[in-house]
Amino acid sequence: MDYHTPASFDEAVSLATSASGITRFLAGGTDVLVQLRADIVTPDTLIDIKHIPGVRDITQNADGSWTIGVAAPGAEMSEHPQLGQDWPGVVEGMDLIGSTQVQGRATLVGNLCNASPAADSVPAMVAAGATVTVTGPDGTRTVAVEDIPTAPGRTSLAKGEMISAVNLPARGENAGDAYLRFIPRTEMDIAVVGCGVNLRLDGDTIVEARVSLGAVAPTVLLVQECADAIIGTTLDEAALDKLAEAASAACNPITDKRGTIKFRTHVAGVLAKRTAQIAYDRAKGASK
Amino acid sequence: MALDEYKPQSGGAELDGERKSFDYVGTRPERPDGLDKVTGRAKFGADAHAPGMLFGAVVRSPHAHARILRIDTSKAEALDGVKAIVTRADFATGLTGEFANVLENVMAGEKALYDGHAVAAVAATSALAARDAVKLIEVEYEVLPHVTDVDAAMAPDAPVINDSYADASVPEGFNANVVRYHESGHGDVEAGFAEADMVFEDTFKTEATHQGYIEPHACLGSLGNDGKGELWCCTQGHWYAQKYCAALLGLETSQLRVTASEIGGGFGGKTTVFIEPVALALSRKANRPVKLVMSRSEVLRATGPTSSASMDIKIGFKTDGTITAAEGTFRLQGGAFPGAPMEFSAMCAFACYDLKNVRQVGYDVVANRPKQAAYRAPGAPMAAFAVESVIDMACNKMGLDPIEVRLKNAARDGSKASYGPRFDQIGMVATLEAAKAHPHYAAPLEPGQGRGVASGFWFNHGGETSVSLALSEDGTAQVSVGTPDIGGSRASMALMAAEVLGIPYENIRVTIADTATLGYNDVSHGSRVTYASGLATIKAARAAVEKLCQRAAAKWGIPEDAVKWENGCAVPSGPNAGDFDPMPLADITATMGQTGGPISGHFEATPEGAGVSFGTHIVDAEVDPETGATKIVRYTVVQDAGKAVHPTYVEGQYQGGAAQGIGWALNEEYIYGEDGRLQNTVFLDYRIPVASDLPMIDAVIVEVPNPGHPFGVRGVGETGIVPPLAAIANAVSNAAGVRLKSLPMSPPKILEALEAGGDA
């Protein structure tokens, strides 16, 4: 195995482009190293990106949007004084991953590129409308988070491409986001169902919404039908029921050791209602 | 406690009748091993190291049931750093009984019997080289049909694990996977059911659960071609390890010296051997010490969980709650070998109650799963789950209070136990009364919450025990015991020795001696350590005190029987009372070399007065009807300790039993795929409770002295896990409004039950 510590994204891209066999980028390593030790993936080339300047930074831009470095760990997101005020759902989704020790290492981009449908930070990012900057041999492009995973363990990134930043939009007025997951325990578990909701109000009425679901399909889903169910409503009981129905209808889960098709489909509806309520209450709080 | 080692306790009359109070016993000093454990100085299994040490790794079957056609080690042997490879051919032949079963489990012979079954092992100069070598060992299998469920394994057409297992107890007509049968009870159950006003009958299932100890199995073995060896390992019983390793390797027992490391949890799962004989076989072949450490996934795939169970219970009641008859059938799956503790299920099931008519039947069933090992009161928790659920269903139906119904039927002093003997002085009623009086039982419930009550019983055990106590010139004492400390027992031994010697707790050091330096000791199991090693420590200390009194008598020139021992001093008594100043222990030991030689005391016996133990638990659970998620909101354990030597560690045992019970009841389970492979081989998916899943568990110690121990001690380690499954199931059922009859009560199962409807 070759191990590299490039000093720039360009160098990292050129290493990845010329590498043969299996290549993995190493940030926190909370998936890569675990898979290595468990003989699941043994990379031929390991590119440690933590030495690239700025990769741990969490920056608010002049327009209010956010840029989060690819090696910024969950713990730094949780302790950031402003980020969680703007995007509590994204921060909470990230914070749910693993233990305190894992939080000191794990990153948003690692969680995204591991491409698990149950990744906790991904539905929250998708609901938030987050994008990632992808750097590759042909330059740089911006991609919506929901377009990165293509199947469990697979991404749309081409050979030599890597994510070089996460971009969260400016929060704006009268808006809130939330993420909830269902696990049988209270922590240290993998989502059986996850749900992210991000919405904006005009008065009491929802005018914009994005609803995402995790662990109920091969990739995290952005469900337009769920958004449609609540846009134009005050999130009354009828709207919540329509939301739950749309969420359950969008599910295409599997039965595995963590949950059954029936259970996941049902709980997706329950979680969508509960998550939307939190996001709604946050938006109301923000509009006071 | 291992099945073959259980001996019915005949009782005893050891209790100090005149004792009114204690100076040390019942206090809560810091444990002597505490600082080492929190600073990292304590040496656990994987901390053993030897010059020239090799690292071992094990090749495991990926199949649930397969004939081993060929093992080709040539590529692995050619790998740099590989020093030895062993297969079954490197172990003893001609073994019978449990030795043969353990050998077969430690290293497969003709067939791999479960996913994870060891088929070969390698030792190399680094752990990485050993791991690479494992991948180069080619094993050719002929995959056979498999079965992992207990009821499926009993079906007439189920694949047979081994057609020579079944013993003569099994009635005609069963699949060969039914390997042992048990029947016990008394009275006439049919007549009893005829007398009943209402009869309740149902079927229950529980999944296998793992003990979940934090420390994976680890050992370092060194064995020369001269048949002399050393083994350092993490175990609950190093004499057991000595006996089994010697047998499996064809050694003389005394030539193998075994030292027990500190232990990061056992709960019964470390009462047997897995990798220890393998490390020794590798060492013998490589002529170098070999270290073997299991990964968590090896622990879950290949060490012993408890049995899974399928049970039928029928209980008849009068309208006032009096039980007229009780009958239970217990089918336990114990993996690919005989030994599922179905007779313990059967014998414990109804032991809380004084029953005129009772009958219990047990079936030991083999399947393609790892060999079950003891797990805290083996067999009893699942039986209590089934029986106490039926009692709760009856209470709900008849509108009776669950504690009152249990009190009405409770076993009392002199009751004939459901499993045969008459009880001596017991605490069943005392635990029920204490539970009834506890504020928890009267506390109001919030909407969505339900309360469950359940009682439980465990035999407790004595076992072979040796203890040696030596006094030092400075008046301190060292105690050598042979039972690995799995629950604070060194503190308890020091307290009991302090009580007898009359010297401070801090002046006594208790060591777990190795097999070469003390007489034989049974394993730390059966809740026996504080009882049996404690009794032996007291008697060893008394033997030393007798010698101390002799030295004082000689110095004073008075008869030996005119000296008594008080507050750590020899004191003249009777006609000589007041003639001399009390002589402190340290004054006697300071000159002991000149007054007759070193002073020590020892005691060896197989005490048989381990008093039985009862507990009653109260649980409040909250069920989310939309997701099936359960939260345990309040938990109270009431249990009889006889006499709590170190109350903090007694409370810890109670809380630990409840915590493990919460895991077993709610989320822990072995999940097998269609292919017979275990799907959840790490703690991420084998869901033991995390700290935030648990409420603070209230522990109430009841003390009904055990007549079989000088201070009245009863074992407390196991009874605490008997009531939880039932108490939690009762609480969850009462919260959900439907009866849960299958463990674990995972969220999907609770939603299914809610959908199906019915009564609690």
DSSP B30: P
User: Do B528 and B628 share a domain, yes or no?
Assistant: no
Q: Number of residue pairs across A and B with CB atoms under 8 Å?
A: 48
User: Do B616 and B561 share a domain, yes or no?
Assistant: no
pLDDT in tens, B347-404: 999 999 999 999 999 999 999 999 999 999 999 999 999 999 999 999 999 999 999 9
**What's the average model confidence in pLDDT over B131-157?**
98
Any domain includes B450: yes
Rounded to the nearest 10°, the torsion over CA B211, B213, B215, B216 is: 20
Cβ–Cβ < 8 Å for B279, B221: yes
**What's the average model confidence in pLDDT over B430-458?**
98
Mean pLDDT value across chain B: 97
State the ipTM, two decimals. Answer: 0.94
Any domain includes B225: no
Distances in Å between the Cα of B204 and the Cα atoms of B313, B323, B662, B711, B743 are 8, 20, 17, 40, 8
pLDDT beyond 70 at A61: yes
Measured CA to CA, the distance from residue A161 to residue A74 in angstroms comes to 23
Give the long-range contacts of residues A205-209, CB within 8 A, separation 24 or more: A205/A232, A205/A233, A205/A234, A206/A230, A206/A231, A206/A232, A206/A233, A206/A234, A206/A235, A206/A280, A207/A231, A207/A232, A208/A175, A209/A276
Any domain includes B440: yes
Any domain includes B306: no
Helix %, strand %, coil % for chain B, to 5?
A: 30, 25, 45
Tokens of B91: 């172990």
How many angstroms separate the first and last alpha carbons of chain A? 56
Cβ–Cβ < 8 Å for B722, B729: no
Q: Which residues of B126-151 are buried (b: 16+ CB within 10 A; e: fewer)?
A: eeebbebbbebbebebeebebbbbbe
User: Do B437 and B475 share a domain, yes or no?
Assistant: no
| Chain A nearest CA to B630, separation (Å) | 8
Percentage above 70 pLDDT, chain B: 99
- Which residues in chain A are contacts of B679 at CB distance < 8 A? 256-257
- Per-residue confidence (pLDDT) for residue B7, from 0 to 100: 63
pLDDT in tens, B296-324: 999 999 999 999 999 999 999 999 999 99
- Per-residue confidence (pLDDT) for residue B18, from 0 to 100: 73
Tokens of B483: 């039972």
| Chain A nearest CA to B683, separation (Å) | 9
| Chain B nearest CA to A135, separation (Å) | 34
Measured CA to CA, the distance from residue A173 to residue B284 in angstroms comes to 74
- Per-residue confidence (pLDDT) for residue A286, from 0 to 100: 67
- When computed from its CA atoms, the radius of gyration of chain B, rounded to whole angstroms, is 27
Contact flag B627-A189 (C-beta cutoff 8 Å): no
| Chain B nearest CA to A6, separation (Å) | 27
A interface with B, Cβ–Cβ below 8 Å: 38, 182, 184-190, 192, 256-260, 262-263, 266-267, 270
Cβ–Cβ < 8 Å for B529, B509: no
pLDDT beyond 80 at A20: yes
Read off the pLDDT band of B10 (50, 70, 90).
confident
Domain boundaries, chain A: 2-51+60-168, 175-287
Contact flag B690-A190 (C-beta cutoff 8 Å): no
User: Do B496 and B556 share a domain, yes or no?
Assistant: yes
* CATH entry 3.30.465.10 includes domain A2-51+60-168: yes
Give the number of C-alpha atoms closer than 13 A to the C-alpha of residue B293, restricted to the C-beta side.
Answer: 15
- Which residues in chain A are contacts of B690 at CB distance < 8 A? 185-188
pLDDT in tens, B224-257: 989 999 999 999 999 999 999 999 999 999 999 9
Cβ–Cβ < 8 Å for B350, B313: no
**What's the average model confidence in pLDDT over B608-618?**
97
Among B544, B577, B605, the domain boundary falls at: B605
pLDDT beyond 60 at B3: no
Across chain A, how many H-helices and E-strands are there? 11, 14
pTM, two decimal places: 0.97
The CATH number of whichever domain residue B563 belongs to comes to 3.30.365.10
In terms of CA atoms, which chain A residue is nearest residue B749?
A263
User: Do B620 and B750 share a domain, yes or no?
Assistant: yes
**What's the average model confidence in pLDDT over B559-579?**
94
> Directed axis angle between helix B97-106 and helix B276-286, to 10°?
70
Give the long-range contacts of residues B668-675, CB within 8 A, separation 24 or more: B668/B207, B668/B209, B668/B210, B668/B212, B668/B744, B669/B207, B669/B208, B669/B209, B669/B743, B669/B744, B669/B746, B670/B207, B670/B208, B670/B209, B670/B210, B670/B305, B670/B308, B670/B369, B671/A257, B672/B64, B672/B115, B672/B148, B672/B369, B675/B64
Task: Specify the higher pLDDT residue, B325 or A39.
Answer: B325
In terms of CA atoms, which chain B residue is nearest residue A98?
B684
Any domain includes B53: no
pLDDT beyond 80 at B52: yes
Among B580, B605, B630, the domain boundary falls at: B605
Q: In B30-155, at which residue ranges do the beta strands (DSSP E only) sit?
A: 54-60, 66-72, 82-86, 111-112, 118-124, 138-143
| Chain A nearest CA to B378, separation (Å) | 26
User: Do B597 and B615 share a domain, yes or no?
Assistant: no
Tokens of B139: 């094993």
Among A258, A264, A270, which would you mutate to test the B interface (most chain B Cβ atoms within 10 Å of its Cβ)? A258
pLDDT in tens, B104-135: 999 999 999 999 999 999 999 999 999 999 99
User: Do B451 and B441 share a domain, yes or no?
Assistant: yes
Give the number of C-alpha atoms closer than 13 A to the C-alpha of residue B240, restricted to the C-beta side.
Answer: 26
User: Do B599 and B652 share a domain, yes or no?
Assistant: no
Cβ-nearest to B687 among A189, A262, A263 = A189
- Per-residue confidence (pLDDT) for residue B710, from 0 to 100: 97
Measured CA to CA, the distance from residue B149 to residue B156 in angstroms comes to 14
pLDDT in tens, B538-548: 999 999 999 99
User: Do B557 and B653 share a domain, yes or no?
Assistant: no
Measured CA to CA, the distance from residue B508 to residue B568 in angstroms comes to 13
Pairing of strands B508-512, B477-481: parallel
Tokens of B480: 């050598």
Name the nearest CA neighbour of B674 among B299, B149, B284: B149
Among B605, B626, B651, the domain boundary falls at: B605
User: Do B497 and B587 share a domain, yes or no?
Assistant: yes
Read off the pLDDT band of A287 (50, 70, 90).
low
Q: What superfamily does domain A175-287 belong to in CATH? A: CO dehydrogenase flavoprotein, C-terminal domain (3.30.390.50)
Domain of B395? 379-461+609-756
Tokens of B385: 């789950």
Coil, helix or strand at residue A2: strand
Coil, helix or strand at residue B626: coil
Cβ-nearest to B626 among A187, A258, A270 = A270
pLDDT in tens, A189-204: 999 999 999 999 999 9
DSSP B533: I
Rounded to the nearest 10°, the torsion over CA B736, B737, B742, B747 is: -20
Total domain count, chain B:
2
pLDDT beyond 90 at B4: no
Helix (H) or strand (E) holding B555: helix B534-556
Among B131, B301, B684, B755, which would you mutate to test the A interface (most chain A Cβ atoms within 10 Å of its Cβ)? B684
User: Do B470 and B574 share a domain, yes or no?
Assistant: yes
User: Do B498 and B392 share a domain, yes or no?
Assistant: no
For A8, phi then psi, to 5°, come to -150, 160
Any domain includes B418: yes
pLDDT beyond 90 at A288: no
Coil, helix or strand at residue B10: coil
pLDDT in tens, A149-172: 999 999 999 999 999 999 999 999
- Which residues in chain A are contacts of B59 at CB distance < 8 A? none
**What's the average model confidence in pLDDT over A266-270?**
98
| Chain A nearest CA to B43, separation (Å) | 24
Any domain includes B148: no
How many angstroms separate the first and last alpha carbons of chain B? 34
For B384, phi then psi, to 5°, come to -65, -40
Most distant CA atoms of chain A, gap in Å: 58
**What's the average model confidence in pLDDT over B471-500?**
98
Pairing of strands B600-605, B358-365: unpaired
Measured CA to CA, the distance from residue A8 to residue A51 in angstroms comes to 8
Name the nearest CA neighbour of B376 among B295, B459, B312: B459
Cβ–Cβ < 8 Å for B301, B60: yes
Contact flag B627-A267 (C-beta cutoff 8 Å): yes
Percentage above 90 pLDDT, chain B: 97
DSSP B362: E
DSSP B255: G
Measured CA to CA, the distance from residue B501 to residue B491 in angstroms comes to 15
